[in-house]
Chain A
Amino acid sequence: MQSGWDTKRLWRWLLLSVTGLALLGQGPFTDAVSLADAADKRSAKPAAGAKTKARSRAAKAAVPRAALTGSAREIVDFINKQIRQGWTDNEIEPSAVAADSEWIRRVHLDLVGAIPPLETVESFLKDRDPAKRTKLIDNLLDDPGYVRNWTTVWSNLLIGRRPPRRTSRRGMRQFLREVFARNRPWNKVVYDLVSAEGHFERNGAVNYMLAQMTMRDDGVQATAKTTRLFMGIQVQCTQCHNHPFNDWKQDQFWQFNNFFRQARRVDHRKYDPRSGRMVDDFSELVFTDFSEKVFYEQRAGTLQMVEPKFFDTPVDAKPETDLRKELARLMIAGQNPLIAQAMVNRVWGHFFGYGFTKPIDDMGPHNPATHPELLERLSLEFVKAGFDVKQLIRWVINSEPYHVTSRVGGDNKVDNPAAGEAPLFSHMYVKSMEAEQLYDSLIVATGAHKAGGAGWEESEQQRQQWLRQFVIAFGTDENDETTTFNGTIPQALMMMNGELVQKATSAERGSYLNRVLGERGSDTVRIRRLFLSTLTREPTRRESNAAVQLIQLIKAKKGDPVSAYQDLFWALLNSNEFIFNH
C-alpha cells in the first residue's frame, strides 16, 4: 500500500486518516507532535481563508498513538480541553451549565427520541446525586427507546422515510433493532450493510443495497451513497466529471463503482388467489457473475476502462472474487478507517446539531474540520474501543459542551453556526424536532404511551401514516426526498388543528387531561403539572398567572373550566419551546 502515497494531497489526507500517526511520510509520530505544536492554534476560527491551510490542519490532526488510553475520563477531558481551546482562541466565554430541567429534556430527545415523562422529570429534579446525569445517560442507553430512536435515525438514512417499492422497511428495521439492541460494533454493521446478500426479510441488511438499486444504473447510486453515508465523502458529481472542489477524479468514481457490479436484485412475484393476479412477493439480492470490464465516458466522449480499486489499493479481481465483500473488508480495514471518523462526525452532529464539518458527510482536505485534533482522537479511540457506538456516545455527551445551556450568554453571540460561522459549541444549538421526535413526544406528553392498547406493529403503522404527510420525493432516480416538516405552515396547521393534537387535548375519559383534572390539587398545581409534562419545566410566574386568569375567565362566564385547561394544553403543545430541542 506504500507506493504512490505522496502523489496527491488526497492520498496524504487518507494516509493521515488511515494511520493516524505518520506525517506526509516524514517519520515517527514524535515529529508529528512538534509539528502540531508549531501549527496555527486557532483551530476553531471561522472557515474563511481556511482552505489554504488544509494541509497544516490535516497535519495537525495527527494524534500520537501513545495518547490513546481508552479511559472514558481522559477522553472526556480531552474533548473538554479541545473545545475550551476554541473558546479561548476566539475570546469567548461559554454559556452557563444548563439547568437539570433543560438538560433532561435534551438528553431524552437525543437518546430515546422523545421528551421525558412527568414522573421521570420529577424524580430527576429531586435527585441529589451529583453523578445523576452520567447515571441517566447510562440508563437511557439501556432503554428500549434508545434502540427505537436509533433504528429510526438509521432507517431514514439508509432507505429513507418513504422507502422505494420492493424494499422491506420491516426487514431493515429488524436488522437495525438488533444492531442497536446488542450494540454491535460499527465496523461489523458497515460490513454487513455493504456486503449483504439474500432475502429482504430474512436478512434485513440487504434492504440498504436494494433501496439503492431501484433502476438499472450499473450501481451508480450505490457507489455515491455508500461513500457518502459510511465514509463521509461525496463523489456523486465525479460520475460525470472530475470534482470541481475536491481532489476526486472521475476514474475513482468508477473504480469504486466496479465493486458493486456483481450485485443483482431479484424481485419475486406470486399468484394471489383472491385477485387472480400476480402480485409482489419477496425481493432478494444475489451474487451474479460479472466478467465484463467497466467503462465510463469521459467528458470528451471517449470511453475509459477501469479496474476495481479502493483508493490506491488495487484488488486482484478473479471472476469468483466477491467484490462487495472485498470492498466491505477494505472499508473497515486499518487503524483509522474513514468509516470511524464519518461516524464520529455524524454522532457529534446528532447531539450538537452541527458536526465538525458542514455538511457532516462531506469530509476531506477541501472542507477542513473545525476541531481536527478532536475529530482525529475520537476516531482513533472509537476504533480502539472496538467501534463501540454506545461508548462513543458516552464520551460525547458526558463532555462539558453537551451540558451548557442553549441560552446565549453575554459573551458568545458570535458562536452562531446558523449564520454560517464555524461552530464553537459554547452554547447548545437549538435543533428542530424531527417528525418522529414530535410524534413520540406528543405521545409521551399526553400519556398515550401508558394507555397500552395498540401493539408495537400497529402503533408503528399509525406513526408511519402520520409521518407520510410530510415527505416529498424529488422525483429522481436517487430516491432522494425532503420533508415539509420543519418550520412550515403545514406543520403549524397540523399542530393547531390536526387530529393528533385534537385527540391529545381532548378531556375524554382515559385521556391525560382527564387524569390531571381528576387528581387533587389547586389550579396552580395542575398548571404546574401540565408545564412539566410538556416543557419539562415549572411555569414562570407570568405564565402561571396567565393560565390562572384563563381558567377564572371561563369560570366567571360559567363555562366549563375543562375547556380552559384544554386551551392551556393546546398552547403548550403548540409553543416554540415544545417543538424545539434545546
Chain B
Amino acid sequence: MRIPTPRGMNRRHFMRHMATSAATVPALQFLSDLRTHAADIKKAQKACILMWMGGGPPTIDIWDLKPGSKNGGEFKPIDTKGDLQISEHMPKTAMQMDKLSVVRSMSTREADHGRGRYYLHTSFVPNPTVVHPTFGSVVSRELGAKRPALEIPSFVSVNAPSGSPGFMGARHAPFVVGSNGQIRNASLGDDKSRLNQRLRMLSVIETNFINSKRGESPKSHKEIYQKAVNLMTSEQMAAFKVDEESEEMKDLYGTGGFGQGLLMARRLVETGVPFIEVGMGGWDLHNNVFTTLRDQRLPQLDQGIAALTQDLSQRGMLDDVVLVWMGEFGRTPRINGNVGRDHWAASWSVMVGGGGLKGGQAVGKTDRDGTRVDGKAYLPGDIWATVSHALGIPSKTVHRSKRGRPMKLANGGVAIKELVG
C-alpha cells in the first residue's frame, strides 16, 4: 500500500499543529529559543536526584552504626573524608563524604510501606480528602515550567514508583523509564508525515469531548498527548541513551540497574530535567540482613553514590545538583530471630548532599542503641525544605489543592540549619 508523504514536513510542522490543537501549552513560542539556549542548558541548571531505597533500608548498618551495642550487628564503622563515620562496606562513598552529609535524627512515625512511601515523598501523611503531590511533581511545577527549552518531561523516574502528582495534575506526573533508557513506542518510524494528518483529526474529536463538560481528565489527556509528541520528535531523547556513555563511565557507576539509573540521571540533569528519581529495591530485609547487605546491596549502593558524586563534582555540577538518599523508613535496631531487621520509623537516617549544601557532617544523633533520637528530630518536610532551599524554591511557596485548600511547601518544613548554613 502506498502512503502519500507530503514533502517538507519536519518537527516544526508537528509542533505547529499541536500548538493550534491545544490552547494550553504554547508549543510554538519556545521553538525559536530552542537551539540558541541549548548551549546554556548544561550549566547552572538546578536539579535534584532522589535515590529511593524501596522497602526501607537499615540505616543503622549504613550511616549510623552502633558498635558495642546489642543492636550493633556485624558491621564496623570506618573513617571518611568528612567529619563522620559510615559502614565499612561503603569504602568508595567514604572517600566522597566531604561532599555529603547524613541526617541521623529522622523520626517519621509511619512504618507501613504505603504510608511511609507517601509520607517521605510528599511530606504529608495520607489523608482521604486530598492526594498530595510527590515532591518530584512539586519541583517539576516550580522549576520545569520555567524551562521552555526542555522538551522531555521535567520529572523522570528510573525504576522507581515515585507516587502521584496529586492535585498538581497529570502534566507533572513522573515519566517512568527503565534503567536501560529504552522508551517503548517512541520511534516515529517511517510515518513521520502522517502524524500531522492524524493529529488534526484527533484534535477535532478530542475538542468535541473536552467541550462536553466532563471534568478535567479529557483535557489532561490531550496535554499528555502533546507531551508524548514532543518527546517523539525531540533531540533531547538522547539524554535517555545511557548506552552512548563510554565503557569506562559505565563501569564507574556500575552496570546494575541502580548505577545505570544514576548515570542516566546525570545525563538528564545535563539536558535540563530538574527532578530525577532513581529507585533501588530489595531493602525490606526481614531476614539475613547482614549477608544480603554485604554481598548484594551495599557494593552496588556504594559504587553508585560514589561515582555520581565524583562525576558531578568533576563536571562542576555538584553545587547545582542536590542528592537525596532515602527509603520509606529505617529498620529496627533490634535484630530479629531471622537475623533480620523489621520496619522502624522512630529513629533513622537520610543522606543529603550537593546543591551547595554543607557536606561532611552528621546532623542530629540517635542514642547508644539507636532506638531513639537524642535531641532534635527531623521530619520529611524538613528534608524537602532543605532541598527547596538548595534549588531556590522560596520557602513561602503555597500551593492550592483542587478544593482551594492552601498547602505549604514541604508541609511547612524548615530547612536544616546545619546543612544550609
Are B3 and A419 in contact, with the CB atoms below 8 A? no
Instruction: Please indicate the chain B residues that have their CB under 8 angstroms from the CB of A475 in the complex.
Output: 54-55, 161, 279, 281-284
Instruction: Please indicate the chain B residues that have their CB under 8 angstroms from the CB of A473 in the complex.
Output: 161, 281
B184 is contacted by which of A493, A535, A553 (Cβ under 8 Å)? A493
Instruction: Please indicate the chain B residues that have their CB under 8 angstroms from the CB of A478 in the complex.
Output: 113
Instruction: Please indicate the chain A residues that have their CB under 8 angstroms from the CB of B197 in the complex.
Output: 550, 553, 564, 567
Instruction: Please indicate the chain A residues that have their CB under 8 angstroms from the CB of B205 in the complex.
Output: 535, 543, 571-572, 575, 577
Q: Provide the bound-state CA to CA distance between A269 and B173, in Å.
A: 43
Question: Interface size bucket, B side?
Answer: 35 or more
Q: Which of B218-226, B300-308, B385-393, B411-419 contacts A (4 or more CB under 8 A)?
A: B218-226
| Given A237-B112, A507-B1; A408-B213 close (CB under 8 Å) | yes
Are B208 and A301 in contact, with the CB atoms below 8 A? no
Question: Residue on B with the closest CB to A237?
Answer: B112
Least Cβ–Cβ distance between A121 and chain B, in angstroms? 17
Q: Provide the bound-state CA to CA distance between A478 and B1, in Å.
A: 51
Question: Residue on A with the closest CB to B281?
Answer: A475
Are B176 and A488 in contact, with the CB atoms below 8 A? yes
Are B184 and A476 in contact, with the CB atoms below 8 A? no
Chain B 194-230: CB-based contact to A (< 8 A → 1; otherwise 0):
1001111110111011101111111011101101110
Least Cβ–Cβ distance between A554 and chain B, in angstroms? 6
Are A489 and B128 in contact, with the CB atoms below 8 A? no
Q: Provide the bound-state CA to CA distance between A80 and B245, in Å.
A: 64
Are B3 and A498 in contact, with the CB atoms below 8 A? no
B215 is contacted by which of A416, A546, A550 (Cβ under 8 Å)? A416
| Given A419-B403, A489-B153; A47-B129 close (CB under 8 Å) | yes
Q: Which of A239-247, A314-322, A377-385 contacts B (4 or more CB under 8 A)?
A: A239-247
Q: Provide the bound-state CA to CA distance between A576 and B209, in Å.
A: 7
Confirm or deny: A579 has a beta carbon within 8 angstroms of a beta carbon on chain B: yes
Are A367 and B128 in contact, with the CB atoms below 8 A? yes
| Given A216-B287, A474-B161, A507-B1; A493-B228 close (CB under 8 Å) | yes
Are B117 and A474 in contact, with the CB atoms below 8 A? yes
Kindly identify, within residues 475 to 490 of chain A, every residue whose CB is under 8 Å from any CB belonging to chain B. Answer: 475-478, 480, 482, 484, 487-490
| Given A487-B170, A557-B4, A571-B202; A362-B128 close (CB under 8 Å) | yes
Are A407 and B214 in contact, with the CB atoms below 8 A? yes
Chain B 1-37: CB-based contact to A (< 8 A → 1; otherwise 0):
1111010000000000000000000000000000000
Chain A 534-564: CB-based contact to B (< 8 A → 1; otherwise 0):
0100001011001100100110011110111
Are A430 and B113 in contact, with the CB atoms below 8 A? no
Confirm or deny: A54 has a beta carbon within 8 angstroms of a beta carbon on chain B: no
A-B contact count, CB below 8 Å? 222
Confirm or deny: B290 has a beta carbon within 8 angstroms of a beta carbon on chain A: no
Q: Provide the bound-state CA to CA distance between A477 and B187, in Å.
A: 36
Are A543 and B204 in contact, with the CB atoms below 8 A? yes
Instruction: Please indicate the chain B residues that have their CB under 8 angstroms from the CB of A240 in the complex.
Output: 111-112, 342-343, 345
Are A489 and B208 in contact, with the CB atoms below 8 A? no
Confirm or deny: B246 has a beta carbon within 8 angstroms of a beta carbon on chain A: no
Are B218 and A430 in contact, with the CB atoms below 8 A? yes
Are B173 and A215 in contact, with the CB atoms below 8 A? no
| Given A420-B403, A474-B161, A563-B1; A574-B284 close (CB under 8 Å) | no
Q: A476-B281, A570-B201 are in contact. List 9 more A-B contacts (CB 8 A).
A: A301-B371, A407-B214, A418-B402, A430-B217, A478-B113, A542-B208, A550-B201, A576-B206, A579-B221
Q: Which 6 A-B pairs have the closest CB atoms?
A: A475-B281, A419-B402, A559-B4, A475-B54, A571-B201, A492-B228
Q: Give 28 CB contacts A-B under 8 Å.
A: A240-B345, A244-B125, A407-B212, A418-B402, A419-B401, A430-B214, A430-B215, A472-B176, A473-B161, A476-B55, A477-B55, A488-B224, A491-B224, A493-B232, A496-B225, A497-B188, A497-B189, A507-B1, A547-B201, A550-B197, A557-B6, A559-B3, A560-B3, A562-B1, A571-B201, A574-B202, A576-B210, A580-B209
